[in-house]
């Protein structure tokens, strides 16, 4: 089995096929969308979320998924059918086990419970099913009275929590800003989150941070401390645990923004999971030629796979390109915006003026049947042993429906199993 794409969907597909007993090769050019994520595993947003209900209406994650299916019939959750959705818990448990084994422990999840709400830098509470253990602070939907101290590193200009604190207060969370005199040095004003994460990998720097937090907490009453997303790439959960033990109250990091440390941490764990799982990884660009795949890297290699999973992402990952027409570059598969086939159409024709409206441009991708085989205009599979997963699939818009990495995990898991069956 060959998998094209090294993000969440491709990695889960490769690991699932490997577990089924196949030799698996994964082709990846560079980190994609997963490395730019918040680090959280969003499965489905509560459709009741809104200005009057920032924590939703208490629907369970499973109910959110079914609501998504009813409202968006082209969504991948709808495409895989009830049999596919029935394996969502299995897929999430598989991802959690493999990432935990690769050094990235994730919080527990429950499909029969509501989303948990954590804090991103913008401050609007984010509902999600599972987060990295270092991010698993107070669930704001259930601990609304918790007084959260949001750390502001006084000398670091790039990490200002003012917006976070104001947004939390506007939603009834008693948040307070906590100025902390760390780190020192003439370069402090120029440091970014990744620089601080590297510093916190050092025990002496962590001790300095503990002392600075202790001094700051003498002036502020808090039930929990929330750091920017600056825990180190390795051992983030242990570092947050050590800080919590030293201060005697929970210390966690925020969810990440674009190009965040938690996103990079997640990508690193995916790469480790591939190595631990015995998946061969080739760096390069894949190009199909009949039933063969060429990998163009330092040298050209020709592969003859029995089955292929295409998990190349959308715009960031390179799975969809716009050069006059929208194209899928590996197999030349037809592309769609929801139920609409695409050809020579301007990108502006696929946008809506209202910011919060679903954007067809952000739903462009490959349509698939219930077994995730790409289909053509006649709705018949284009290739019997080709499967698609993740953001390459048409019909979903993660900023609107909150299903980003949940779709990646489920469709990657299913595609890996379907490819395994086809490769026998």
Residues whose CB falls within 8 Å of the CB of residue 221, separated by 6 or more in sequence, listed in order = 147
Res 342: pLDDT: 80
Cβ(390)–Cβ(396) below 8 Å: no
Q: Domains, the chain, ranges and CATH?
A: 2-105+264-422 (3.50.50.60), 132-254 (3.40.50.1860)
pLDDT at 257: 82
Half-sphere exposure in the Cβ direction for 63 (13 Å, CA): 12
Give the whole-angstrom CA distance, residue 361 versus residue 365. Answer: 9
* Contacts of 353 by beta carbon, 8 Å cutoff, 6+ apart: none
Residue by residue, pLDDT tens for the chain (424 residues) are 999 999 999 999 999 999 999 999 999 998 878 998 999 999 999 999 988 888 999 999 999 999 999 999 999 999 999 999 999 999 999 999 999 999 999 999 999 999 999 988 877 889 999 999 999 988 998 888 889 999 999 888 888 889 899 989 988 899 999 999 999 888 988 999 999 999 999 999 999 999 999 999 999 999 999 999 999 999 999 999 999 999 999 999 999 987 789 999 999 999 999 999 999 999 999 999 999 999 998 888 999 999 999 999 998 888 998 877 888 999 999 998 867 788 666 666 777 777 667 777 788 999 999 999 999 989 999 999 999 999 999 999 888 899 999 999 999 999 999 999 999 9
Cβ–Cβ < 8 Å for 264, 177: no
Say if CB 33 and CB 7 are below 8 A apart.
yes
- Please name the residue ranges forming H helices in 123-282: 162-170, 193-199, 203-217, 236-247, 261-276
């Amino acid at each position: 089995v060959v998998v094209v794409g090294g993000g969440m969907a491709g990695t889960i597909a490769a690991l699932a096929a490997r577990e089924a007993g196949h030799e698996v090769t994964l082709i990846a050019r560079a980190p994609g969308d997963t490395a730019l994520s918040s680090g959280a595993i969003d499965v489905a947003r509560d459709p009741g979320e809104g200005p009057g209900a920032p924590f939703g209406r208490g629907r369970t994650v499973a109910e959110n998924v079914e609501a998504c299916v009813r409202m968006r019939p082209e969504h991948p959750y709808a495409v895989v059918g009830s049999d596919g959705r029935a394996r969502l818990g299995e897929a999430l448990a598989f991802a959690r086990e493999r990432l935990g084994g690769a050094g990235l422990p994730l919080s527990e999840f429950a499909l029969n419970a509501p989303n948990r709400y954590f804090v991103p830098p913008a401050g609007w509470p984010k509902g999600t099913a599972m987060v990295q253990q270092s991010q698993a602070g107070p669930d704001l939907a259930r601990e609304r009275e918790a007084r959260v101290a949001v750390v502001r590193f006084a000398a670091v200009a790039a990490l200002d929590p003012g917006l976070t604190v104001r947004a939390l207060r506007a939603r009834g969370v008693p948040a307070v800003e906590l100025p902390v005199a760390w780190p020192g040095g003439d370069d402090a004003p120029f440091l970014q989150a990744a620089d601080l994460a590297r510093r916190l990998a050092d025990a002496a720097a962590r001790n300095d941070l503990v002392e600075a937090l202790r001094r700051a907490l003498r002036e502020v009453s808090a039930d929990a401390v929330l750091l920017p997303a600056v825990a180190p790439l390795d051992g983030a959960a242990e570092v947050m645990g050590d800080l919590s033990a030293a201060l005697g109250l929970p210390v966690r990091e925020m969810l990440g923004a674009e190009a965040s440390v938690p996103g990079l941490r997640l990508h690193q764990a995916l790469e480790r999971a591939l190595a631990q799982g015995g998946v061969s990884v080739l760096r390069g660009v894949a190009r199909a030629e009949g039933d063969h795949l060429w990998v163009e890297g330092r040298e050209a290699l020709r592969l003859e796979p029995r089955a292929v999973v295409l998990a190349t992402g959308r715009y960031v990952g390179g799975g969809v390109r716009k050069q006059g027409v929208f194209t899928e570059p590996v197999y030349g598969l037809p592309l769609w915006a929801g139920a609409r086939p695409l050809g020579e159409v301007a990108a502006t024709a696929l946008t809506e003026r209202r910011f919060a409206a679903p954007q067809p441009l952000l739903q462009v991708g490959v349509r698939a049947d219930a077994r995730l085989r790409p289909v053509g205009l006649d709705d018949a599979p284009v290739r019997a042993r080709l499967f698609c997963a993740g953001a390459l699939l048409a019909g979903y818009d993660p900023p609107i429906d909150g299903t980003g990495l949940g779709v990646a995990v489920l469709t990657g898991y299913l595609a890996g199993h379907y490819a395994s069956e086809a490769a026998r």
